[in-house]
Amino acid sequence: MGIGPINPSRRRAVFLDRDGVLNRAVVRDGKPYPPDSVAALEIPPGVPGALRDLKAAGFLLVVVTNQPDVATGIQSRAVVEAIHGTLRAALPLDDIFVCYHQDSDRCGCRKPAPGLFQEAAERHGLYLRWCYMVGDRWRDVDAGHRAGCRTIFLDCGYRERAADNEPSARVTSLVEAVTWILQDAAKTVQ
């Protein structure tokens, strides 16, 4: 089933989780964590080229990331923003939306809630049904699903629970995710 023809007055985007998708997550005991500094940030090979392919196909590239370590005091907001500055300099990203809350805050922006997607849709004139979400955790898949996006689960082999919603596709790299997105989008746009 396709996503329908693209209305030129509405834009489409690929939403991207940060840690584990754009940069390597730090994995301890099977659980992913963000890098603790710009020096620890590592962008896997293939990521810049894959994102350029999405841009060439007309997609807006929007990062949606939970960074609860700021709320807990483990990480500073300045370090998170410095990491984002480095990612913006290295990758063709259009925008970054961040939730700095933890689960106990019960906010509408922390994935799996769809708040960051809705904010991005409003700011950029996106029609979420024509958008995709690429993430490496259950929160990403469930948030994308709740927002109405097609979801791609980048399986990094973490030891954690599965998403409540079945993703549209399962892949093992961002390059593979981009190939799937471009093929899926081509079926719907003539």
CA atoms within 13 A on the CB side of 26: 9
Residues facing residue 153 across a β-bridge: 135, 170
Residue 132, SS3 per DSSP: strand
What DSSP line would sit under 27-79, residue for residue?
A: EETTEEE--SSSTT--PPTTHHHHHHHHHHTT-EEEEEEE-THHHHTSS-HHH
H or E, element range at 96: strand 95-99
- Amino acid (one-letter) located at 137: R
Signed CA dihedral, 141, 35, 68, 131: sign only: negative
- Residue with tokens 């089933």, as numbered in its chain: 1
Instruction: List the catalytic residues.
Output: 17, 19
Query: Contact 149/167 with Cβ under 8 angstroms?
Result: no
